Homo-oligomer: A and B are copies of this chain.
Amino acid sequence: MPLSGIRILDLTRIISGPYCTALLADLGAEVLKIESPESGDPVREQGVIRDGISWYFANYNRNKKSLGIDLYSPEGKALLARLISACDVVVENYRPGVMEKMGFGPERLKELRPDIIHCSINGFGDTGPYRDRPAFDFVAQAMSGFMSLNGAEDDPPLRAGPPISDLIAGLHGALGITAALLRCKQTGRGDSVNVSLLSSMVSMLSFHASNFLASGVVPPRSGNDHGIAAPYGLFQTSDGQVAIAPSNDGVYHKLLDAAGLSHIRERPEFNTNALRMERRQEIKEIIETRTREHSSEYWIQRLNEFGVPCGPVLGLPDVFNDPQVKDQEMTITVNHPGHGDVRMLGFPIKFTEAQSSCRLPAPELGADTQDVLMSIGLKAAEIEHLQDIGVISTTRCTSA
């Protein structure tokens, strides 16, 4: 596996950080998830709980080990120092400055492990006027300009359904860490990596940003229409809607041919994309008179035969029954001892040789405390003492 032999100390909770470290765990890293001995990651209690386990927690914490350690206690801090020395990477999603307050600022980290890679994931970045503000996915979606582009033109700015700020920050973190590991292998040097929800979302503005910066023209929300192409959007069929996306003149012509509208090719008022943008509603209606005559299934097959990108708008039940989604194994089933089988999302990055798999189900709180501490050299008596004084927990319900 790509990250075999890499040990990651994971101080994160909720989504952005645990998603980042789940990506790294799926790539083969050994991830040590440090949790408070009493309650652990709050996500353990969030989302739908089935047979005593949150499937949301199970999804984002597969392939990880859990250590219950009270990081407020001096003994817990001493343990953390020993663990850092034994790890290649430390990931945290505290607010900026918290690591310093805990006694683990950049200098200390380097002292403990000269080639450490430290990744911080936070709301606004390590510097700047908002660095100390509390952050949340929704706020980053709002402040990044993303919401100003999401929604129909006459509707208010709209948050995306999934927590994409968290997820994209997590992806950026995983990419930054993996890149830093590659550099470390070649130079022996560690590095510090920071990603933020806000910058992650700003970097998703794509051509909207480029066009605005070049022209000063503020892009409108365009709903299901494309900002710079027409026809485009959802088209009514006899039994539903189909998303059709002709990306250029060639595909536009294929769409006309497939719809039996080849004669429209000659119409000068629709001759260029710019002209069609001006008559967006008109060209859409012409095409819809045809698409309404047959079912969605008919059109999806016919348009694909003609080379026109299109597809149905699926809800989650149809997504997870879709033959392509199944072929790509985008759900997997993982047995969690004591909780039965848990279905979760699969692996979106497919390797031919170094395939990802679920080697470990999401851990019980503190399940790996003892094994990991012994592996870094603690004696059984020492571990027992730490448990007696409440600094560590080794299983969910038996912390002293």
Interface centre among A1, A150, A350 (most CB of B within 10 A): A350
Copies of the polypeptide in the assembly? 2
Mask: chain A, 206-222; 1 = CB below 8 Å from B; 0 = not: 11111111110111011
Is residue A369 within 8 Å, beta carbon to beta carbon, of the partner chain? no
Contact indicator B142/A151 (Cβ below 8 Å): no
Chain B residues within 8 Å of A164, by CB: 160, 164, 204
Mask: chain A, 1-18; 1 = CB below 8 Å from B; 0 = not: 111110000000011000
Min distance, Cβ A195 to any Cβ of chain B, angstroms: 6
Known: A179-B27, A313-B147. A193 touches B351 (CB 8 A): yes
Chain B residues within 8 Å of A172, by CB: 171, 348-349
Is residue A63 within 8 Å, beta carbon to beta carbon, of the partner chain? no
Is residue A379 within 8 Å, beta carbon to beta carbon, of the partner chain? no
Q: CB within 8 A of A311: which of B139, B180, B222?
A: B139
Stretch at the interface among A66-74, A326-334, A391-399: A326-334
Chain B residues within 8 Å of A232, by CB: 138
Chain B residues within 8 Å of A223, by CB: 158-159
Known: A316-B208, A316-B219. A182 touches B180 (CB 8 A): no
Q: CB within 8 A of A55: which of B185, B192, B200, B211?
A: B211
Interface centre among A203, A217, A342 (most CB of B within 10 A): A203
Please report the C-alpha to C-alpha distance between residue A382 and residue B342 in the assembled complex, in whole angstroms.
61
Contact indicator A328/B55 (Cβ below 8 Å): no
Chain B residues within 8 Å of A4, by CB: 183, 186
Contact indicator A180/B327 (Cβ below 8 Å): no
Please report the C-alpha to C-alpha distance between residue A152 and residue B130 in the assembled complex, in whole angstroms.
30
Considering the complex, which residues of chain A in the window 33-52 have a beta carbon less than 8 Å from any beta carbon of chain B? 42, 46-50
Chain B residues within 8 Å of A55, by CB: 210-211, 213-214
Stretch at the interface among A79-87, A259-267, A287-295, A317-325: A317-325
